[in-house]
Amino acid sequence: MSRAEALDLGLVVAGHGRHYIVETPEGRRVTCHPRGKKSDCVVGDRVRWQVSGDEGVIEHVEPRRNLLFRQDEWKTKSFAANLDLILVMVASEPVFSESQLTRALIAAEDAGIEAHILLNKADLPQIATARERLRPYAAMGYAVHEVALKARPDEARAELDPLLAGRSSLVLGPSGTGKSTLINLLAPDARAQVGEISQALNSGRHTTTTTQWYWLDAARTTGLIDSPGFQEFGLRQVSPQVLPGLMPDLAEPAKQCKFYNCTHLHEPGCGVRAALARGEVTESRYRIYGEIFQELSQTRY
């Protein structure tokens, strides 16, 4: 047995700065700090830790199955690790950004994590427009779940409970889509958990900027992770050459291109542009692809 294996095993359920909340297999929660200056834990990590006074020290992060993160020119922002499912949440109101949705789905594809789209506020008149905008995503294989979390909570639970059961899931999406409503509906003691963790981390009002794990069942088999809303979603971790393969509607047409290094922007004999002309790729998806490709093709310093 290695030195790390001899230490206690715990699950990171929240973090703020260099403070983390680690949950033991028995359900006890301990405030911990990483050893040394480097702080690379994220919610969902399994860690080895040991007691230090009335707190703990994280000595080792166990190997991850996956990690969802976004990366722009300046920094990398990790959401969570060891995920089974990502729920990308949008709503009929406010109007959602298809670019943000696409970027989140690309990040999930790149990390090898199953992604579903959760469309909230299905009781509003704007649902018809939102549903139409999501039709191409359903056609390319993404499951789209329509719910009205406030108006029809029981129906929402019937839709979501079987999907989430026994899994570790991350809710991702901009502010205003109803993420807090979702958490409060599915995690009965969510408010208590927020207060408890906020107090332990001394984060107060900053709790809304903190990723946090909630258990949805008493047996602690179903975990739901809430993440802060975001305005930008950088994908600098993705190389422009692999980008089409991470977009299901472009992946197959890209294999039909005349040139192996086709950018799908202007070359003759391009399978993607042929699919666009046939209506198999939407104008908005092609435009978003072009924007992300140009972004990723800029010189990196």
**264 carries a ligand binding annotation:** yes
Question: What is the per-residue pLDDT across 81-90, written as a single tens digit (0 to 9) for each?
Answer: 999 999 999 9
* Six token digits for residue 178: 């109803």
pLDDT of residue 206: 41
- 8-61 CATH: 2.40.50.140
What are the pLDDT tens digits along the chain (301 aa)? 455 667 899 999 998 888 899 999 999 999 999 988 777 899 999 999 999 888 999 999 999 999 999 998 888 889 999 999 999 999 999 999 999 999 999 999 999 999 999 999 999 999 999 999 999 999 999 999 999 999 999 999 999 999 999 999 999 988 889 998 999 999 977 765 666 666 666 654 444 557 899 999 999 999 999 988 777 899 999 999 999 999 999 999 999 999 999 999 999 999 999 999 999 999 999 999 999 999 999 854 4
The predicted model scores a pTM of 0.92
**207 carries a ligand binding annotation:** no
**123 carries a ligand binding annotation:** yes
pLDDT of residue 202: 62
Side chain identity, residue 288: I
Nearest to 300 by CA among 146, 88, 74: 74
Domain range 243-297, its CATH number among 1.10.40.50, 3.60.21.10, 3.20.20.80, 3.40.5.50: 1.10.40.50
**174 carries a ligand binding annotation:** yes
**41 carries a ligand binding annotation:** no
pLDDT of residue 241: 95
**270 carries a ligand binding annotation:** yes
Distances in Å between the Cα of 52 and the Cα atoms of 31, 33, 235 are 10, 10, 38
Alpha helices in the chain (DSSP H): 98-111, 127-139, 153-164, 179-186, 190-201, 248-254, 271-277, 283-297
Nearest to 187 by CA among 162, 157, 209: 157
Q: Which fold has domain 67-226?
A: Rossmann fold (3.40.50)
Domain boundaries, the chain: 8-61, 67-226, 243-297
pLDDT of residue 193: 63
**181 carries a ligand binding annotation:** yes
pLDDT of residue 301: 43
Question: What is the per-residue pLDDT across 258-272, written as a single tens digit (0 to 9) for each?
Answer: 999 999 999 999 999
**37 carries a ligand binding annotation:** no
**122 carries a ligand binding annotation:** yes
Residue 281 CB partners (closer than 8 Å, separation 6+):
249, 250, 253, 272, 275
